Amino acid sequence: MKAMSHLNFMQLVRLFGIWFFAQSVVLAAATYFFSASVVLGTNTISPFSALLYSMFVQTLIAIGAVPLLELLQDFQQKNLGTTSWMLFYFGVNTIGIWLISRFAEQLGLGLSSWIVAAVLGLVFSLVQGFFAIRMGKDE
Write phi, then psi, for 6 (nearest 5 degrees): 55, 65
Count of domains for the chain: 1
For residues 60 and 91, the answer to whether their CB atoms sit within 8 Å is no
CA distances from 23 to 5, 17, 33, 77, 108 (A): 22, 10, 15, 31, 16
pTM (two decimals): 0.85
Cα dihedral: 52, 54, 57, 59 (round 10): -70
Each residue's pLDDT expressed in tens, for the chain with a length of 139 residues: 444 457 788 888 998 999 999 999 999 999 999 999 999 999 999 999 999 999 999 999 999 888 888 787 778 777 777 788 889 899 999 999 999 999 999 999 999 999 999 999 999 999 988 888 887 655 5
- Is residue 79 situated within a structural domain? yes
- Is residue 139 situated within a structural domain? no
What is the extent of the structural domain holding 32? 2-134
- Is residue 27 situated within a structural domain? yes
